[in-house]
């Protein structure tokens, strides 16, 4: 039934967000516009999943990744091939590394960042073979 699932983010600094999501994360531009009403862009995601967590599970993930409970109900997450080089590149693009990388019980090497538009971002590298 669904042909496309789109997430729309309102960002305080459009150009900084564009540099981060398009250039640093490498998302391809499908469509971009700028007119008297404002600017927008549609970026292609390579593969996406929707992860639904209840509050206790979210709290458990926060404790593992950050050592404490975190506010908010939205967290972005991206899988990378190599964690440390990816974290370095994302920091150069304006992300803030909030917590050091951790090894998770589910077999990932995770780090929590904050994007230039102030969203929590988990960057993860699977350890071993992931289906």
Query: Tell me, what CATH number does 62's domain have?
Result: 3.10.180.10
Residue 16 covered by a domain: no
Domain that holds residue 85: 55-126
* pLDDT greater than 50 at residue 131: no
> Nearest 5°: phi and psi at 5?
-115, 120
**20: closest CA among 91, 73, 72, 81?**
91
pLDDT on residue 121? 95
pLDDT on residue 129? 53
* pLDDT greater than 90 at residue 96: yes
Residue 104 covered by a domain: yes
pLDDT, averaged across the chain: 93
Average pLDDT over residues 32-57: 94
Count of structural domains within the chain: 1
Percent of the chain with pLDDT over 90: 88
Residue 39 covered by a domain: no
pLDDT on residue 128? 75
Percent of the chain with pLDDT over 70: 98
51-80 in b/e form (b: 16+ CB < 10 A) is: eeeeeeebeebbebbbeeebeeeebebbbb
Task: Tell if the pTM clears 0.85, that is, is over it.
Answer: yes
Residue 44 covered by a domain: no
**In angstroms, rounded to a whole number, what is the distance separating the alpha carbons of residues 27 and 123?**
15
Residue 48 covered by a domain: no
């Amino acid at each position: 039934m669904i042909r496309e699932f789109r997430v729309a983010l309102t960002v305080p600094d459009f150009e900084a967000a564009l540099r981060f999501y398009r250039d640093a994360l490498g998302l391809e531009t499908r469509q971009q516009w700028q007119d008297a009403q404002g600017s927008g862009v549609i970026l292609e995601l390579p593969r996406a999943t929707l992860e639904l967590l209840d509050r206790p599970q979210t709290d458990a993930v926060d404790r593992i990744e950050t050592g404490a409970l975190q506010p908010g109900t939205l967290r972005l997450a991206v899988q990378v091939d190599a964690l440390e080089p990816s974290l370095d590149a994302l920091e150069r693009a304006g992300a803030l590394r909030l917590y050091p990388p951790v090894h998770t019980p589910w077999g990932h090497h995770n780090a929590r960042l904050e994007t230039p538009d102030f969203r929590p971002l988990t960057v993860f590298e699977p350890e071993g073979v992931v289906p």
